């Protein structure tokens, strides 16, 4: 009853949520199954549901994503945000980026996506445009660097969501933080301290998925 797969969400809660929420359509179900079979990391189902709800409320028009993978989250963000939304998404792996383009084409969303190939650390330096919502979902150890670079393209009232901030509980517990993961853990702790203490932001850390930080830009 109390088993806990990733030290964040109890399995019985996860199972209950999965059976209670309505299923996605066949396209998204098939894409999630494909990602699982091929060990491609995409957003966890509870985080997906949170993001779908958040952007349904916030209705961002310009969305920025760091970490495209196969285009899964870019597509549901667009569909939940509404028909006026547009996503710019950055990915450094050519293979998954090619798959993302195919998936987006299949879903009929190509004219609402700008794919940017490259390392986000460099791409974000010169990125133009102003964004209402950003989803940071690339390398955990780089999240703070990506956040600071994304921030210059955000306006007051914008929202930045960062995935995987609790890192299987390690961010919150020295007992869980193994030697191998200590550098990333330390960076994530510094990042969350920054998000939670800087007066420019209002941040909440949510214990869903692998931990999500939601930051409102005042
Ligand atoms: C967790 S996956 C993204 C999943 C996607 N957001 C979704 O939920 O459908 C992370 C992706 O970020 C990419 N990535 C990691 N570090 C990056 C960087 N510095 N610049 C660009 N892409 C990066 C990886 O290649 C990987 O495809």
Q: What is the mean pLDDT of residues 80-108?
A: 98
pLDDT for 6 equals 84
The range of the structural domain enclosing residue 150 comes to 11-217
pTM of the model: 0.97
The DSSP letter of residue 138 is: S
Residue 3 pLDDT level (bands cut at 50, 70, 90):
low
User: 190 burial class (0-12, 13-18, 19+ CB within 10 angstroms)?
Assistant: exposed
Whether residue 106 lies inside any domain: the answer is yes
The DSSP letter of residue 110 is: G
Q: What distance in Å separates the CA atoms of residue 64 and residue 46, rounded to the nearest whole number?
A: 21
Q: What distance in Å separates the CA atoms of residue 211 and residue 206, rounded to the nearest whole number?
A: 6
Whether residue 63 lies inside any domain: the answer is yes
Is residue 55's pLDDT more than 50?
A: yes
Evaluate whether 210 touches 44 at the Cβ level (below 8 Å). Answer: yes
> What total number of domains does the chain contain?
1
Index of the ligand 1 atom closest to the CA of residue 74: 9
Is residue 45's pLDDT more than 90?
A: yes
Q: What is the mean pLDDT of the chain?
A: 96
Is residue 1's pLDDT more than 50?
A: no
> What CATH number has the domain bearing residue 114?
3.40.50.150
| Residue pLDDT, tens place only, 160-179 | 999 999 999 999 999 998 89
DSSP state letters, 44-61: -HHHHHHHHHHHHHH--S
- Ligand 1 geometric centre to CA of 18 (Å): 24
Index of the ligand 1 atom closest to the CA of residue 138: 12
Give the binding-site residues of ligand 1, using a 6 Å CB cut-off.
41-43, 67, 69, 72-73, 90-93, 96, 119-121, 137-139, 142
- Residue 109 vs residues 67, 71, 115, 194, 207: alpha-carbon distances, Å: 18, 11, 12, 36, 31
Handedness of CA 36, 40, 45, 49 (dihedral sign): negative
Whether residue 67 lies inside any domain: the answer is yes
């Amino acid at each position: 009853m109390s088993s806990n797969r990733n030290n964040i969400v109890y399995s019985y809660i996860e199972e209950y949520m999965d059976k209670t929420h309505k299923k996605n359509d066949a396209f998204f179900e098939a894409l999630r199954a494909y990602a699982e079979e091929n060990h491609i990391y995409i957003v966890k189902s509870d985080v997906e549901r949170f993001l779908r709800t958040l952007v349904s409320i916030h209705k961002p028009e310009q969305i920025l994503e760091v970490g495209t993978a196969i285009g899964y989250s870019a597509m549901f963000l667009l569909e939940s945000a509404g028909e006026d939304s547009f996503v710019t998404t950055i990915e450094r792996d050519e293979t998954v980026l090619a798959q993302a383009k195919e998936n987006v084409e299949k879903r009929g969303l190509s004219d609402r996506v700008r794919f940017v190939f490259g390392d986000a650390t460099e791409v974000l330096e010169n990125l133009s445009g102003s964004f209402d919502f950003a989803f940071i979902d690339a390398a955990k150890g780089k999240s703070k660097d990506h956040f600071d670079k994304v921030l210059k393209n955000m306006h007051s009232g914008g929202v930045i969501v960062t995935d995987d901030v609790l890192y299987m509980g390690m961010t919150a517990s020295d007992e869980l933080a193994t030697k191998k993961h200590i550098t990333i853990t330390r960076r994530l702790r510094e990042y969350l301290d920054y998000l939670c203490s800087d007066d420019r932001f209002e941040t909440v850390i949510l214990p869903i998925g692998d931990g999500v930080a939601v930051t409102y830009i005042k």
